[in-house]
């Protein structure tokens, strides 16, 4: 596809939404006024696995202010919260998906699962009511690791999932991989257990369900990553309501990163209670609830191998592992550790054969789903770790080995061994740029200086990419109002990325107006015809290109009126440089004048391009390790990035910095750790470490853009790319620092204790 670089794209425009947000104008769900709303408190299981014998609510209902207590018995007639993606085993059988109600009927399967909902006039009364609910549990044995859950005799979570197996999933050509391994000159092997992580967004989840007695409708206001998915799943599958009974609204959102995409039990129960009691219902999550009940990510254990010929060329890659799904199959998780890994397992390299075999398991832990990167950071830790291991074991320079195997620019479009089609790129140029930005020439001197202080310095390289995803189920509208202002509506959902600015720039470039005249509306299932929401680093691909089409439709709608005003034939009127003009003359008229004459103009368009793009990058991390304490300090981080056409370099830098910080956290400190009984040991921010300013260096980055042919603007989604590469770069840097001490592996997160133990034979 040919792409259009619109004039005005690429300008470093400051975020248009920031003055409002920085002066207290933000509208977040927890801060919305709702006089008279009942306050909800959820009683959650203290057990990872237990049978519910009895739930006694009488004492709670007798307390002042308590209006209702909703238990599993009350929601027995509701429906299942389904996954909206699927995987199948080699025989074509769909993954096992047990029926998941908002409150379980028979037993709880992870700590934090809802047992009852208490509604009261005040939050304090609701809390008192929750404490007064008496639950008789029969504790059962729990299992928390996915590989343990698949062992014979492990506690069974669901009767319809024998052996706790969700799916035995495979992809690739196993025979071709076996043949390549049989003829290989060298095989590098790696074992990796990826730590489970949390999203840690600033704004926790919330729900405000408001009952309209006049219409019998419920309006659910909630932070989300897309109102239409929520409305569809809540109405069609869980609440079993006609669509017209529910309106879903999402105002400002303080971070999403994936876990605000799924429909959760709390949202369904707030709507259910509002309709049942004919009262408004409010719930605001606390931080511990976020840790216990929101979806987690990354829980994977895998063995990987990479085959090379005598010249160092890659022949085949193989991964075998277990993906821990937690207690339930969450919304898009079936395709996260499976397809997410498969998308990027070949990295930036020409690898002729590949095979993945993942057994997916149920366990007594919070459900797992997409978090920034969605299966790809784990895959790239494996791949890039294998490349470094192969270099060490064969006496090759790790950079030279990568350069030898990189795809060349003339290889695109490139079909990977696992069936994915990379669109475009210049990977050798990315590597060269990253090395230059990292001051490769000065590394030896920096390493010597560190050694003089008794410290170990290491450098790690990670070649990485992302395959943008999400749903192109999008209709965008653009209105040119009679006063010349532009109002746009679109179905993706900003969670802080700067959509209002990026979309305004795209529209300003199309319409020839000042971006400040453009407002962007998202997050209302009544006002926006349809939309797939935001996920998979695809928002600007989907909404950006669709808003351009809608703007062009609005321009076309005004062409006849412009011709009349210019006293010319319609065929002689063209749109150029932000105005209608009579071809071959200097007679012009602006869009605002035509809109004023017509009482406004409107265009709408459906998404018509391809969601998938393949942004890529090369990251170089330098660390210092203190062998006395095991402390790892990330001293330098440089990266070269291909994000295709750049709409706004300021927004791009923000996405990169945030993504690198997330990857640094995963590599060095973040772990949602359960004890063997299924108790979450990191249920608060006292126990779950996240990156602080001191852990994040000054980032250096440069662009090597190659536009994508898959959409008309040439954009490549970039939000998850930096998170994909950072953990691999840091893991390789730490092992490079410790190589002279004979350390070949440190489990992530590479905490001081783990590094110290590795150095001391632990």
Q: Could you read off the pLDDT of 121-144 as tens digits, one per residue?
A: 999 999 999 999 999 999 999 999
How high is the mean pLDDT of the chain?
97
The pLDDT tens digits of the residues spanning 340-356 come to 999 999 999 999 999 99
Residue 196 pLDDT grade (very low, low, confident, very high; cuts 50, 70, 90): very high
Residue-level pLDDT at 4: 52
CB atoms within 10 A of CB 626: 18
Residue-level pLDDT at 212: 98
CA neighbor of 713 nearest in space, from 91, 122, 176, 8: 8
CA neighbor of 237 nearest in space, from 256, 213, 262: 262
Q: How many CA atoms lie within 13 A of 614 on its CB side?
A: 22
Percent of the residues in the chain that have a pLDDT greater than 90, as a whole number: 98
**Which domains does the chain carry?**
36-140+205-284 (3.90.1170.50), 374-468+612-759 (3.30.365.10), 470-606 (3.30.365.10)
173-179 average pLDDT score? 98
The pLDDT of residue 7 is above 80: no
Contact 517, 485 (CB under 8 A): yes
Residue-level pLDDT at 1: 42
The pLDDT of residue 8 is above 80: no
The pLDDT tens digits of the residues spanning 457-508 come to 999 999 999 999 999 999 999 999 999 999 999 999 999 999 999 999 999 9
25-35 average pLDDT score? 97
What's the burial of 320, exposed, middle or buried (CB within 10 Å: 0-12/13-18/19+)? middle
74-103 average pLDDT score? 98
Contact 444, 561 (CB under 8 A): no
207-217 average pLDDT score? 98
The pLDDT of residue 321 is above 90: yes
* C-alpha to C-alpha distance for 236 and 332, rounded to whole angstroms: 17
CA neighbor of 735 nearest in space, from 381, 301, 303: 381
List phi, psi (to 5°) of 282. -125, 140
∠735-638-448 over CA atoms, to 5°? 50
Structure tokens at 643: 């994000």
83-104 average pLDDT score? 98
Residue-level pLDDT at 417: 98
The pLDDT tens digits of the residues spanning 700-720 come to 999 999 999 999 999 999 999
199-205 average pLDDT score? 97
Residue-level pLDDT at 531: 97
Residue-level pLDDT at 762: 67
391-412 average pLDDT score? 98
242-263 average pLDDT score? 98
Contact 461, 729 (CB under 8 A): yes
Non-local (6+) Cβ contacts of 43 within 8 A are 114, 115, 116, 117, 118, 130, 133, 135
566-574 average pLDDT score? 97
CB atoms within 10 A of CB 681: 11
Q: Is 297 helix (H, G, I), strand (E, B) or coil?
A: strand
Q: Is 495 helix (H, G, I), strand (E, B) or coil?
A: coil
Residue-level pLDDT at 244: 98
Residue 2 pLDDT grade (very low, low, confident, very high; cuts 50, 70, 90): very low
Q: How many CA atoms lie within 13 A of 762 on its CB side?
A: 12
Residue 6 pLDDT grade (very low, low, confident, very high; cuts 50, 70, 90): confident
pTM, full prediction: 0.97
């Amino acid at each position: 596809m040919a792409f259009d670089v619109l004039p005005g794209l690429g300008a470093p425009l400051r975020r248009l939404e920031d003055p409002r947000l920085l002066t207290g104008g933000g509208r977040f769900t927890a801060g919305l006024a709702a006089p008279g709303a009942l306050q909800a408190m959820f009683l959650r299981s203290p057990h990872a696995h237990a049978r519910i014998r009895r739930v006694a609510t009488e004492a709670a209902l007798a307390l002042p202010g308590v209006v209702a207590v909703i238990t599993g018995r009350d929601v027995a007639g509701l429906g299942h919260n389904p996954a909206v993606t699927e995987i199948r085993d080699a025989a074509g059988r769909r993954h096992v998906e047990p029926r998941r109600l908002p409150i379980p009927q028979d037993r709880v399967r992870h700590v934090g699962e809802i047992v009852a909902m208490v509604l009261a006039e005040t939050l304090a009364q609701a809390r008192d009511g929750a404490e007064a609910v008496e639950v008789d549990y029969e504790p059962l044995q729990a299992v928390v690791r996915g590989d343990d859950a698949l062992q014979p005799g492990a506690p069974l979570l669901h009767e319809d999932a024998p052996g706790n197996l969700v799916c035995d999933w495979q992809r690739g050509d196993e025979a071709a991989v076996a043949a390549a391994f049989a003829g290989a000159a060298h095989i590098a092997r790696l074992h990796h257990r990826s730590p489970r992580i949390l999203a840690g967004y600033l704004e926790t989840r919330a729900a405000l369900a408001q009952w309209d007695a006049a219409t019998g409708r419920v309006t659910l206001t909630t932070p989300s990553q897309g109102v239409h998915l929520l409305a569809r799943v809540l109405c069609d599958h869980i609440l079993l309501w006609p669509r017209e009974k529910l309106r879903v609204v999402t105002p400002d959102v303080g971070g999403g990163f994936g876990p605000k995409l799924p429909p959760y039990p709390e949202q369904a129960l707030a709507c259910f209670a509002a309709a049942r009691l004919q009262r408004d219902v409010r719930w605001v999550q606390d931080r511990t609830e976020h840790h216990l009940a929101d979806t987690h990510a990354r829980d994977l254990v895998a063995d990987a191998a990479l085959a090379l010929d005598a010249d160092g060329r890659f022949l085949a890659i193989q991964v075998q592992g277990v993906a821990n799904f937690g207690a339930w199959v969450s919304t898009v998780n079936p395709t996260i550790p499976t397809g997410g890994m498969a998308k990027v397992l070949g990295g930036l390299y020409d690898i002729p054969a590949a095979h993945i075999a993942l057994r997916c398991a149920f366990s007594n832990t919070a459900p797992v789903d997409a978090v920034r990167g969605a299966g790809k950071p784990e895959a790239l830790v494996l791949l890039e770790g294998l490349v470094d291991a192969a270099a060490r074991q064969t006496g090759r320079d790790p950079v030279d080995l990568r350069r030898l195997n990189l795809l060349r620019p003339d290889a695109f479009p490139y079909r990977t061994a696992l069936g994915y089609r990379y669109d475009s790129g210049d990977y050798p140029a990315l590597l060269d740029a990253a090395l230059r930005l990292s001051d490769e020439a000065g590394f030896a001197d920096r390493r010597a200086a560190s050694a003089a202080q008794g410290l170990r310095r290491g450098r790690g390289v990670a070649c990485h990419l992302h395959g943008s995803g999400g749903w192109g189920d999008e209709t965008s509208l653009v209105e040119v109002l009679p006063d010349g202002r532009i109002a746009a509506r679109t179905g993706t959902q900003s969670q802080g990325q700067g959509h209002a600015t990026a979309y305004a720039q795209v529209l300003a470039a199309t319409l020839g107006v000042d971006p400040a005249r453009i407002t962007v509306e998202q997050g209302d299932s009544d006002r926006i015809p349809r939309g797939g929401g935001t996920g998979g680093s695809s928002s600007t691909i989907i909404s950006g290109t669709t808003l351009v089409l809608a703007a062009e439709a609005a321009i076309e709608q005004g062409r006849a009126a412009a011709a009349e005003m210019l006293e010319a034939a319609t065929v002689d009127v063209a749109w150029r440089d932000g105005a209608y003009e009579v071809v071959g003359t200097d007679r012009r008229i602006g869009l605002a004048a035509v809109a004023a004459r017509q009482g406004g103009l409107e265009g709408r368009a459906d998404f018509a391009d391809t969601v998938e793009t393949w942004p890529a990058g090369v990251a170089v991390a330098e660390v210092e390790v203190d062998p006395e304490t095991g402390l790892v300090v990330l001293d330098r981080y440089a990266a070269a990035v291909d994000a295709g056409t750049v709409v706004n370099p300021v927004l791009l830098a923000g996405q990169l910095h945030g993504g690198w910080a997330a990857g640094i956290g995963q590599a060095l400190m973040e772990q949602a750790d359960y004890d063997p009984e299924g108790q979450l040991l990191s249920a608060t921010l006292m126990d779950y470490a996240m990156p602080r300013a001191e852990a994040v260096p000054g980032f250096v980055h440069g662009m090597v853009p190659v536009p994508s042919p898959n959409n008309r603007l040439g954009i490549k989604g970039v939000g998850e790319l930096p998170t994909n590469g950072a953990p691999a770069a840091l893991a390789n840097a730490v092992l490079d620092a410790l190589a002279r001490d004979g350390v070949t592996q440190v489990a992530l997160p590479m905490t001081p204790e783990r590094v110290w133990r590795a150095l001391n034979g632990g």
